[in-house]
């Protein structure tokens, strides 16, 4: 066993111990009240897990993506809803890789200590959808600052975050050599922005995800809060997307294992026609199939994370990992519900909640079709469809 495997085993044990302090009833309450799991996020921050990827020089753990994946997978497998805090792991990477040293010194130590939260990442717009090149939120150069106007949608955790990474246009779409030129990344201090050019409006959704619409009306952002080069923002964002996909895939693996664990337990215990339902192959086989699919997807997640940690290109692996893991977790959710019969619909078992939560990952942060299109055109060199 390697040192990394040992470390991952230790992380798994201690994250599980932390999660055991947040039992089923905690998640049922936050879900039914649509409230943010503040105590859980604080406990994770205090234990340093949300700073897993922040280098030691800025007060973080300085670990790799493999270890960060173990944190998210373990949370999800325990029954927790990792969506409340996963974004800090990957949004931070944009600041770390492309931010100025001054910005990093200003914010990373406080993010690492849990004093500040960087949980929001604002890209999606109502009229652009997946075609990010069509965003229209515009940042006008006003000398020592930018003024930002426009609208974003589906931006999560803004009301529970201090900072936000925002992608806006600084030049029109047709002004550059490529449609994705002319976009710039900004670090927005949400505490100062709300009421001063930023309005936040909650969107009611099928899961407890604290997602919102944002309206920008000449929001002032200082020039020293630009991350990376002006006009090159899309590249900065792309850089973090592989990490995001791999981390979300590990969350799906955790969800998938949660469903298999629950299905196995119920199939052993539940007696119908005088015997355990798990004695019927009609019940066993879907559980076994889900187990196999999750184990296979997990190997791809691990491969992608290793490549990422070695600094090698991993676009294909990250996308495939996210595709396979999100499909496997969704099939496992359906299997688990079916294994439980009517009981699966009872809120107290958490299955219906996790069923709703895991469904998101075939749509966000990138939908299954768009991943298939990436694999078809970028990996297999098929003709471009759009
Ligand atoms: C709960 C939730 C939280 C979110 N949080 C955030 C966040 O924090 N920050 C953020 O920036 N965004 C966030 N999003 C947005 C999310 O990333 C997008 O919903 C997702 O990328 C899909 O974009 P869209 O909804 O605009 O779908 P669209 O782009 O409108 O696509 C609709 C459907 O058409 C398909 N489609 C589109 N074009 C093609 C094509 N050429 N070929 C085949 N199929 C195609 C898509 O696969 C999709 O299934 C969140 C979304 C949700 C639901």
Please report the pLDDT score of residue 84 as a whole number: 87
Ligand 1 centroid, distance to 279 Cα (angstroms): 41
**Among protein residues, the one whose CA lies closest to atom 24 of ligand 1:** 129
Nearest ligand 1 atom to the CA of 167 is 11
Q: What angle do CA 133, 359, 319 make, to 5 degrees?
A: 50
In sequence order, which residues have a C-beta less than 8 Å from that of residue 26 and are 6 or more positions away? 37, 39, 40
CB-neighbour burial class of residue 204 (10 A; exposed 0-12, middle 13-18, buried 19+) = exposed
Q: How would you label 16-48 residue by residue, b for 16+ Cβ within 10 Å and e otherwise?
A: eebbeebeeebbbebbeeeebbeebbebbbeeb
Residue pair 65/243 in contact (Cβ under 8 Å)? The answer is: yes
Using a 6 Å cutoff on CB, does residue 369 contact ligand 1? yes
Using a 6 Å cutoff on CB, does residue 363 contact ligand 1? yes
Pocket test for ligand 1, best of 120, 154, 240 (most atoms within 8 A of CB): 154
pTM: predicted TM-score of the whole model, two decimal places: 0.97
Please report the pLDDT score of residue 149 as a whole number: 98
CB-neighbour burial class of residue 14 (10 A; exposed 0-12, middle 13-18, buried 19+) = middle
Spell out the alpha helix ranges (H) of 143-232.
190-193
Q: How far apart are CA 370 and CA 362, in angstroms?
A: 10
Compute mean pLDDT per 10 residues along the chain, 386 residues long, and list them. 87 98 97 96 96 97 97 98 89 93 97 95 97 98 98 97 98 96 98 98 96 98 98 92 96 98 98 98 98 98 97 96 98 98 98 98 96 97 94
Ligand 1 centroid, distance to 131 Cα (angstroms): 9
**Among protein residues, the one whose CA lies closest to atom 3 of ligand 1:** 154
Please report the pLDDT score of residue 1 as a whole number: 67
Using a 6 Å cutoff on CB, does residue 205 contact ligand 1? yes
Q: How far apart are CA 223 and CA 122, in angstroms?
A: 18
Residue pair 358/297 in contact (Cβ under 8 Å)? The answer is: no
- DSSP letter for 176, please: S
Please report the pLDDT score of residue 239 as a whole number: 77
Residue pair 188/164 in contact (Cβ under 8 Å)? The answer is: yes
Domains present along the chain, CATH in parentheses: 3-113 (1.10.540.10), 118-231 (2.40.110.10), 239-379 (1.20.140.10)
Nearest ligand 1 atom to the CA of 157 is 8
Residue pair 351/340 in contact (Cβ under 8 Å)? The answer is: yes
Taking only the tens place, the pLDDT of each residue in 237-284 is 987 899 999 999 999 999 999 999 999 999 999 999 999 999 999 999
For helices 65-78 and 3-19, angle between their N-to-C axes, nearest 10 degrees = 30
User: Cα–chain-centroid distance for residue 63?
Assistant: 18
Nearest ligand 1 atom to the CA of 126 is 26
């Amino acid at each position: 066993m390697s040192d990394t495997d040992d470390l991952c085993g230790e992380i798994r044990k201690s994250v599980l111990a932390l999660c055991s302090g947040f039992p089923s009833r905690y998640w049922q309450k936050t879900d039914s009240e649509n409230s943010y799991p503040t105590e859980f996020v604080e406990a994770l921050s205090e234990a340093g897990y949300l700073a897993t990827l922040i280098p030691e020089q800025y007060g973080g753990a300085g670990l790799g993506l493999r270890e960060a994946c173990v944190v998210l997978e373990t949370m999800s497998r325990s029954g927790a809803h990792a969506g409340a805090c996963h974004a800090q792991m990957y949004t931070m990477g944009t600041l770390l890789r492309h931010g100025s040293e001054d910005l990093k010194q200003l914010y990373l130590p406080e993010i690492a200590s849990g004093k500040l939260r960087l949980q929001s990442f604002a890209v999606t717009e109502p009229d652009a959808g997946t075609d990010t090149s069509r965003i229209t939120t515009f940042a006008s150069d006003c000398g020592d600052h930018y003024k930002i106007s426009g609208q974003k949608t589906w931006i999560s955790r803004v009301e529970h975050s201090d900072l936000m990474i925002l992608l806006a246009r600084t030049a029109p779409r047709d002004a550059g050599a490529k449609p994705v030129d002319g976009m710039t990344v900004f670090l927005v201090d949400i505490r100062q922005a709300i009421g001063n050019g930023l309005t936040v409006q909650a969107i009611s959704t099928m899961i407890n995800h604290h997602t919102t619409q944002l309206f920008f009306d000449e929001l002032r952002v200082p020039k020293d809060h630009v991350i990376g080069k002006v006009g090159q923002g899309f590249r900065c964002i792309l850089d973090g997307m592989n990490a995001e996909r791999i981390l979300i895939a590990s969350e799906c693996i955790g969800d998938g294992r949660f469903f298999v664990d629950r299905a196995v337990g119920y199939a052993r215990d539940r007696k119908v026609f005088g015997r355990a339902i798990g004695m019927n192959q009609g019940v066993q086989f879907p559980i076994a199939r889900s187990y196999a699919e999750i184990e296979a997807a997990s190997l791809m997640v691990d491969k992608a994370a290793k490549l990422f940690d070695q600094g090698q290109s991993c676009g294909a692996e990250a996308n495939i990992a996210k595709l396979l893991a999100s499909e496997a977790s969704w099939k496992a959710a359906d299997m688990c519900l079916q294994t439980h019969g009517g009981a699966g619909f009872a809120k107290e078992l958490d299955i219906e909640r996790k069923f709703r939560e895991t469904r998101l990952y075939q749509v966000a942060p990138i939908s299954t079709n768009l991943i298939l299109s990436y694999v078809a055109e970028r990996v297999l060199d098929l003709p471009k469809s759009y």
